[in-house]
Amino acid sequence: MVSRFKMNNPQPFVVVDLDGTLINGNSMTMFVIYSFRLLVKRGRFGDAWRVMKAVFKRKTGQVFHREMKYCIMSVLYKALSGEDVCDFARLLEGKVNRTVRQIITESLSCGRKVVLATAAPDIYISEFAGLLGIEHFTATKMTDNVDSYEENRGEIKKKRVVELVDSLDGYIETVITDHLYDVPLLSYCNGTNLVVSPDAATLLALKENGIKYNLI
């Protein structure tokens, strides 16, 4: 069992969500559009079609989001170069929420560690996190088949974050998010919960779970 409390001056960690929190918008949607345009521009019409087909199947209810995501990423992991991913990470940096970035910057300057925890695919997260000076992250990992493809959200995300922070002899001091999917993390945190522009469903989930928070 992972201990929530550690002795000998444990390291405080700030855990921050990505989509709708650290950035304005959905990074996966941006990545798909960015990648599709690259594929078409380079004449890789077969790969572009496979991406478009996966999106179409999701839009028409033929597959679940997880299956669509896997199909798309199975194409893009092979089709894109490291430079393509770096270019996208720099584009994503332009979408950063300034208020949240300031919190992250101040936390790092005060000696706290930061974990970027997201359901987004890990293909661009490492590069993006590095641009912001964030050393640690958890994201959705690519697998060999769709059956083992597990999105990094909800209880799974909480489990991975807790294990990561514990392995670094730390504790979760602050959680920053915008979404009800992070209720497990918010419930776990004994420190400060910061919620960014929550919708009605998220506010209801926070109330129903008795979670204390501050709005930013």
Q: Say if 1 falls within a structural domain.
A: no
User: Looking at the structure, do residues 169 and 210 belong to the same domain, yes or no?
Assistant: yes
Q: How far apart are CA 6 and CA 10, in angstroms?
A: 6
Q: What's the total number of domains in the chain?
A: 2
Determine the pLDDT at residue 85. 98
- CB of 178 closer than 8 Å to CB of 23: no
Determine the pLDDT at residue 2. 40
Determine the pLDDT at residue 213. 97
User: Looking at the structure, do residues 115 and 210 belong to the same domain, yes or no?
Assistant: yes
**Tokens matching residue 104:** 């992250």
CATH number for position 116: 3.40.50.1000
Q: How far apart are CA 32 and CA 130, in angstroms?
A: 21
User: Looking at the structure, do residues 177 and 164 belong to the same domain, yes or no?
Assistant: yes
Query: What is the tens place of the pLDDT at every residue in 173-187?
Result: 999 999 999 999 999
User: Looking at the structure, do residues 80 and 137 belong to the same domain, yes or no?
Assistant: no
3-class DSSP state of 66? helix
Write out the chain's pLDDT in tens, 216 residues: 344 444 468 999 999 999 999 999 999 999 999 999 999 999 999 999 999 999 999 999 999 999 999 999 999 999 999 999 999 999 999 999 999 999 999 999 999 999 999 999 999 999 999 999 999 999 999 999 999 999 999 999 999 999 999 999 999 999 999 999 999 999 999 999 999 999 999 999 999 999 999 999
How far is CA 176 from its chain centroid? 12
Q: Say if 143 falls within a structural domain.
A: yes
Q: Say if 41 falls within a structural domain.
A: yes
Determine the pLDDT at residue 8. 67
Determine the pLDDT at residue 9. 82
- CB of 85 closer than 8 Å to CB of 127: yes
The residue range of the domain holding 145 is 11-25+96-215
Q: Say if 102 falls within a structural domain.
A: yes
Determine the pLDDT at residue 117. 98
Of 54, 89, 124, which one is at a domain's C-terminal end?
Answer: 89
How many residues are present in the chain?
216
User: Looking at the structure, do residues 103 and 192 belong to the same domain, yes or no?
Assistant: yes
Determine the pLDDT at residue 6. 46
Side chain identity at residue 68, one-letter code: M
Q: Say if 207 falls within a structural domain.
A: yes
User: Looking at the structure, do residues 104 and 33 belong to the same domain, yes or no?
Assistant: no
User: Looking at the structure, do residues 172 and 105 belong to the same domain, yes or no?
Assistant: yes
User: Looking at the structure, do residues 103 and 166 belong to the same domain, yes or no?
Assistant: yes
